Every structure is written in structure tokens, then in C-alpha cells.
Structure 1
Amino acid sequence: MDADELTQSVWDISKDEFPDGSPLGEQAKFLLHYAILAPSSHNSQPWRFAVRDEAIEISYDETRWLEVADQDKRELFISIGCALENLCIAAEHFNIGYEITYRADEDDDLVSTVTLERDSEPSSNRPPELFDELTERYTSHQLFEDQALPREARERFRRVIETDDVTLYLIDDPEQKRSIGELQADADEAQMADPAYRKELGYWVGTGALGSSWLMARIGQAVVSHFDLGDREGRKNSKLIERAPVIALLATHADTPTARVKTGQVFERLALLASAEDIAVHPMSQVLERPETRTELAARTGTGEEIPQHLFRLGHVEEERTHTPRWPLEAVSSTEQ
């Protein structure tokens, strides 16, 4: 897909334009404007949507799979789960019911089917304020302030996922954070030492998908692709982890594609709730991209038989919220009615 198609305009959605009274297929297309605002690894946006009457099929686009960094497609399925969650939240806001059929464990690119139902009362544990955060949520890469997360916010995080098959670990012990920071540095150094990893990362930097201008994206691509910056990145990212008030980890008993999709749904719900609480969020994926550090992370965080799926920082920071660009909806969707 041509990087020139990337745009910031997709973030400007007016809920007043919802086609109330139109067929469900038309309403489904409107809901997808919110789905494409979901976060994804490297902002790769690996989703495709097909509207078929009252059903929305969500598939993955293998051309946007990070084959080196994400060899088992863990991050791809988590990214799809984030988009699925946005879709569900938008549907509930407009009083559209839905039924999710998970298909990710089957041997094709179809991840899930969402069948819409008219005039259905929401029956989930999603707080209504999450809808307004769909266009406000952002990812922070800054050093967080030395300010503890309120107990009330932590309790809300736990309540909002209590019916899911995903466990949330909130880690604030300084020694444990230091240990995770060491793992982060090890993972950064190992990843950046791999020329194939640097080439892949450089490609995504170069597309401008991470929000840089065309010139800065091209310069960044050249630097990342040709220089091993692992030591520098390791020091920077380990500091980000050690100084964060809370490190959050999502883990599951199963390590299947469906478990990863559900992890993405939970993460996006937490990220939107954090946005409503004015708490910044920053995923840290490198530790989970290497089997040896992923296994060690489980040992250091005490997840037992549960398998780490997603690691991210939570904290406070004073900064302007900025959004990364998205491909327009017509580039990632189709309609068959």
C-alpha cells in the first residue's frame, strides 16, 4: 500500500453523522471509521474489513505482518483485537448489538466475524465514557512523572476486564521494574544486532507510519537500517520501564491466536480507560518478541502457568496528545451487499 495514502484526517469523526435509520450495512461502514483508529505494532494497521449485509468480517493483511519482529503473529493478532474492541465500543454507543465469532484459530486469514443486531441493549462491562476516547487515545513515548497511579484507577482497570480470559498484572515494585528493565535492554540489543530486524524496522519508519515527516522518516529509515543502535535503545527503554509508576502485563493460559485477539481487546479497553483517566500508555514489545526473554519475563513477573502476551507502561506525563496517521477506510475495507 502506498505510504502517500496515510492521513491524519481519519481522526476527525463526528458521531452526529451516524446514519441513524439506515440499513445495518450502512451503519456497519460508519462503525469502521472508529475501528481503524486502533493501535498496532509499528502502526502497521494489519487489518482488513469486509461488510456483508449485517456482518463484518475482520481479516489480517499478511503484507503488513512484521515477519522478523513478530514471527508468531502475536502482535498482529493483538493489533486486530484492538480494532475489534473499537468496533464493539462504537456499536454499543449507537445501541447496536453484536455477536462475535472468533475464527483466528482456523487456518486462513479470517480472524473474526461480528454480526450486528438492531436495537439491542449493551450487555458488557465497558464504561460508556470509552467511546469518547476512541478519537482521543494516543501512545506516549516520554519518560513518565514520579507520580503514583491512584488506587481508584487501578481498581477500575481490574473491573473493566473481570469477565475476560485475560489476567492483568500491575507491577510497581522498584526491584521488579529494574529486573524487567534489564530484560528490555537485553531484548533491544539482541533485536538491533539482527540486520533483518533493522531492515524491517527501517521500512516502517520510512513509510511515515510512525508520524514523522517525509524527510525525517527517510533519514530515520537510513539510520535504523544501517546502524546497530541496540545499546542506546536498550539504555533508553530500560530507563523508561524503571521510572514508570506501573508496568502492566497481560497474560493468558492459552497461547493461541484467539487468546491473542482477546488480549488485544482487553489492552485497548484498558488504554481507552487510561485515556479517560488522563493516564498515559506505552506498549513495550521487544521483551516479548524473543522467546528467551519472553520466558524469562514470565519467571520474573510470577505469571506461573500463564503466558505473557502484552507489556506496557502506565503513568502521568505533561505533553500534547498527538496521533499517528492511518490509511483511509476505503483502503482497508470492502462492501458486499
Structure 2
Amino acid sequence: MDADELTQSVWDITEGEFPDGSPLGEQAKFLLRYAILAPSSHNSQPWQFTIRDETIEIAFDKTRWLEVADQDKRELFISIGCALENLCTAAEHFEVGYEITYHTDEDDNLVSTVTLEPDSDPSSSRPSELFDELTERYTSHQLFEDQALPRETRDQFRRVIEWDSVTLSLIDDPEQKRSIGELQAEADEAQMADPTYRQELGYWVGTGALGSSWLMARLGQAVVSHFDLGEREGRKNSKLIECAPVVALLATQEDTATAQVKTGQVFERLALLASAEDFAVHPLSQILERPEMRTKLATRAGTGEEIPQHLFRLGYVEEERTHTPRWPLESVPLTNQ
């Protein structure tokens, strides 16, 4: 990966350039311009695509797997699910039908196949306004305002979840948030105390993938790689959780790759809906990267036997929306066959 290839220009997509009436392969390639705008852990963008006639195969790029932070590939599959959701949202907007096949072979990096069906009507629970948010959605790391999320917004969140196998908990009880915040601080300190974790995080900071200039990225890499900032990060992230109007948790009945891909789809749909409603989203993954703390999170969040998969903050904040850069589609592993 070359940091010089990272660009902000990929966010500027002209909707009217969709190749309506062109072969499905050309339409698929255009839809993938929206897929690559999906969020991913450390902005690692771990997806690769193969277009075969009317199908798009979505696989993961092992070189972009966070082997230290994400040893079980949970975040990798969630990231792939986010890209899949963007693809489907764009397909629906351009009235291209599709069918998704989830692949379960753990020895293969193929995650899902999307078969385009132009003669069928796409149908799902996605609100139509989500398409416009594909190029507007962003992640906020700021302290959120003390302003409750409206009940109708919470209800709409729950309505757009397509599968009974993925559940959403919206936590606003101060004591619960404080307890989860304490766990977040503990996770930050444990992760940052690990030199291999800091080296991996430093590498991604150094690529510029998080949006810093070349110089600041290199300085950030040096600081993160060589200094244990766990206590500072723990205090900061704990406060972010405790002060958020809502802490959201997605959980599943099974802890499989497919469940995690569907978790990513649900999260991205919620993030797009949040963007449409002008409130911000901020994922927090450190707790879930520690197996023993993931179990504690289930207890503190009250998920019962369901398995926590993705934790994030929701709330309002006054700030300019900024996007992290992306490798353009030409730089993403893409094969036409």
C-alpha cells in the first residue's frame, strides 16, 4: 500500500454518471465506488472484489487484516459487511435488483457474492434517504452534547434491522454507561501496554489512513509505536462513553463470520440513518478486542446469551463533517472475469 494513493476525491461521485443501459459489469463497477466508502477498523479497507458477468464476489484482503488487534477477524468481517451494505444501498437506488449469498468456508477469503438481477425489483427495509448519506456519512471522535435521542429515532433504528439474529441495545442509563466506560478504560490500558498492538496501530497511523498529513502521520506513528498512552486514551474514551446520550451495542446469537458480516450491514445502515438525522456515530472496538472483556461487556450491557459484536456511541455534536481518505477503486484489488 502506498500512502500517496490515499485520496479524498473518491467521496465525490456524480450520481448521473451511472451507466444505465450498459452491461452489468460496468454497472457493478460503478456501484463499487459507493462500496469503498464504507467504514472499516483503522480505515484498513480490507475488501477486494471480483466481477464475473452479473455477480460481484466480495472477499477480504489478508494484507489489510489487523492480526494483533483483531485476531478472530471479527472487525474484518464487520468492515466487509459495511461495504456490502453500501453496495446494496446503491443498487436499490439505481433500481438494480440483487441477491446476496453468504459464504461460510473458513479456509477461503471469499465472504459473500452479490448477484445482480436488473429485471427484479429490489426490496428491503432500507429508507430511501440512506443513499444520499453514502457520500455524507462520517465518524466523530468528539464529546457529544447532552441531548437525548428522540424516541421516534430510536424506533426507526429498530425498524431498519432486517434480521432477528442481530439485536440492537440502546443504553442510556448513567450507571450502565459508567460501568461500560470503566471497562473501556481497562481495555485501552491493556491494549496499549502490548508493544505489538502499538506497532500495528502505529503502522496504520503512519500510512495516513486516519486522515493526517504525511508529516503528522509519521510523527503519530513514532509516538504510538514507542509510548504507552493507555492511561490517557482510557480516560478520554471512558469520558466519551459516559457523556454520550446513547451507547449502542449490536449482538448476535452466533459468533460466526456470517453473523459478523450481517452485524456490519446493520451497523452501516444505522450509521447512514444517523447521518440523515444529523447525529454522529463513533465505534469503540477495544473492549471487544479482549475476549475476557467481551464477556464482561455482555454482562454489563445485559445482552443475556447473545454475543456482543459492535459497540458505538450516538449523539449530537456541532462540527464540520470530515472524511478519512480512501484508496480509489483503481487501487483496490478488483478483478474482471
The alignment's TM-score, normalised by the length of structure 1, stands at: 0.99
Q: Which moved more, 1:119-128 or 1:85-94?
A: 119-128
What letter matches 2:336 in structure 1? Answer: E
Cα distance, 1:3 vs structure 2? 1.5
Q: What is the aligned partner in structure 2 of residue 26 from structure 1? A: 26
Alpha-carbon distance in structure 2 between the residues aligned to 1:104 and 1:2: 32
Residue 104 of structure 1 and its aligned partner are, at CA, apart by 4.0
**Equivalent pairs, count:** 337
SS in 1 for 2:113: strand
- Secondary structure at the residue paired with 2:135? coil
Counterpart code for 2:2: D
Residue in 2 aligned with 1:94?
A: 94
Contiguous gaps of at least 5 residues in structure 2:
none
The CA deviation at 1:335 is 3.6
CA distance in 2, matches of 1:164, 1:100: 17
AA in 1 matched with 2:86: N
> By how many angstroms is 1:216 displaced?
0.5
Structure 2 partner of 1:48: 48
Root-mean-square deviation (Å): 0.9
Q: Distance in 1 between matches of 2:105 and 2:85?
A: 18
Q: Secondary structure at the match of 1:134?
A: helix
Question: How big is the shift at 1:123?
Answer: 1.3
In the TM superposition, residue 121 of structure 1 has moved relative to its aligned partner by: 1.4
Say which is worse superposed, 114-123 or 276-285, in terms of deviation.
114-123
Q: Tell me: CA distance 1:288–1:256, structure 2 relative to 1, closer, same or farther (3 Å).
A: same
Amino acid at match of 1:93: H
The residue number in structure 1 matching 2:214 is 214
Question: What letter is aligned with 2:74?
Answer: R
Deviations 1:8-50 (A, max 9, x none): 1100001100001001111000000000000000000000011
Structure 2 counterpart of 1:125:
125
Moved over 6 A (4+): none
Equivalent residues in 2 for 1:251-290, closer than 5 Å: 251-290=251-290
> What residue number does 2:83 align with?
83
1:95-244 → structure 2 map (5 Å cutoff):
95-244=95-244
Match of 1:65 in 2: 65
Paired with 1:170 and 1:72, the residues of 2 have a C-alpha distance of 25
Q: How far, CA to CA, are the matches of 1:105 and 1:271 in structure 2?
A: 29
Residue identity opposite 2:165 in structure 1 = D
Whether the aligned pair in 2 keeps the contact of 1:28 and 1:56 (CA below 8 Å) is yes
Letter paired with 2:22: S
Per-residue deviation, residues 151-186 of structure 1 (Å, max 9, x unmatched): 111010000005442000000000000000000000
Counterparts of 1:334 and 1:44, CA distance in 2: 16
Structure 1 Cα separation of the partners of residues 104 and 240 of structure 2: 33
Name the aligned partner's letter for residue 172 of structure 1.
Answer: D
Map of 1:246 onto structure 2: 246
- Partner deviation per Cα, 1:94-133 (whole Å, 9 max, x = no partner): 1101111101444210000100001321210000000000
In structure 1, distance between residues paired with 2:42 and 2:214: 16
Conservation of the 8 A alpha-carbon contact between 1:97 and 1:118: yes
Aligned runs of 1:277-316 on 2, under 5 Å? Answer: 277-316=277-316
Structure 2: how far apart are the matches of 1:29 and 1:52?
11
> Which residue identity does 1:95 align to in structure 2?
E
User: Counterpart of 2:234 in 1: which secondary structure?
Assistant: helix
**Secondary structure at 1:37 match in 2:** coil
3-state secondary structure, aligned to 1:123:
coil
Distance 2:204 2:106 in 1: 28
State the identity as a percent. 85
The CA distance in 2 between the partners of 1:142 and 1:56, in whole Å, is 37
Q: Within 5 A, what are the aligned runs for 1:9-20?
A: 9-20=9-20
Unaligned runs of 5+ in 1: none
Distance in 2 between residues matched to 1:184 and 1:50, nearest whole Å: 38
Q: Distance in 2 between matches of 1:314 and 1:74?
A: 21
CA distance in 1, matches of 2:120, 2:242: 45
Paired with 2:199 and 2:115, the residues of 1 have a C-alpha distance of: 39
CA distance, structure 1, for counterparts of residue 278 and residue 200 of structure 2? 33
Q: Secondary structure at the match of 1:281?
A: strand
Conserved? CA contact 1:98–1:115, under 8 Å? yes
